[in-house]
Amino acid sequence: MVQNGNRVPVALIEPSAEIRRGLEQGLKHSPGYVCVQSAALAKELLDRPTTQSNAPRLVLFNQRSLDLAADAFQEELQARWPGALAVPFGIYGHSDELFMTIHGMDKGYFLRRRTPRQILEPLEGFWQAKPSTDVQLRIRVQGYFQKLILSGSPDGNSGESGALTQRETEILRYLGAGQTDKTISTILGISAWTVHAHVKSIFEKLGVHTRAEAVIHGWVLIKCERQHPLKMHL
C-alpha cells in the first residue's frame, strides 16, 4: 500500500537528533518518499498512537537504536503496521571507521558515496511490485549493487586493471584482508620498506589517501575474483 499521494510513507529511527534531522531532510527531497514520523529509539516509535496519516510502509532504523530484541522489534512492528518493511542502516564518521567496523571487502560490502536525497536509490521501482515483501526488497538491493560492480566502478565508469602492477594488485588484496606492511613483507618475502613503496604507488594510481579508500576503490578496479554476499548500509 502506497499512501500520501503515491509517496511511500517512511518512519525513521535514529538516536542522534542532528543526524535524524539530516535524514529527514534527505527523505523530504527523495522522490516518491515522505517521512511521516521519526524517533530516537524503536520503543519510542512503537509506543506512539497510530493514525492513518503516520502509518509507515518503510521503517529505516539505525542498528544501534534498537532498545529491544530484534525479533521483538519485528513482531511489534508487524503488529502495529502489518506489511511494513524494516531496513537497518549504520552511521560512520569516515571511511576508515566504516572499513574497520565491517572488515571491508572481506565481508563483501560495496561502498558508494551518495547525497542524502539518493539514500533510497536502490529501492527505485520496488514499490510497484505486488506484493512488496522483505525477500523482494533484499533481491532488489542485491541486484542494484551487483549491477554497479559489473559496471566496473562505483560511478559506473569502467576501470582499467592495468593501472596496477601484478605485485601492487597482490598487495592490495592483502590490505583488504587487514594485513600490515610487516606481515605482507613476511608473506611475500620482501622488505617492509618495499611494501610501503608499493602501497604509496597504489595510493597515487588510485588517487586515494588511506588504505581503506584504496581497498574500496581497488576492489572494483581489479574485479576481485572471489564472490561474496552483498549487504547494504544506508
- Which has more pLDDT, 20 or 176? 20
Fold held by 8-91+114-151: Rossmann fold (3.40.50)
Angle at 136 between CA 131 and CA 142, to 5 degrees: 160
Domain ranges across the chain: 8-91+114-151
Q: What is the pLDDT of residues 178-229, one digit of tens each?
A: 888 888 999 999 988 899 889 888 888 887 777 877 877 766 555 444 443 3
Q: What is the model's pTM? A: 0.60
- Mean per-residue pLDDT over the chain, rounded: 76
Roughly how many angstroms between the first and final C-alpha of the chain, as a whole number? Answer: 23
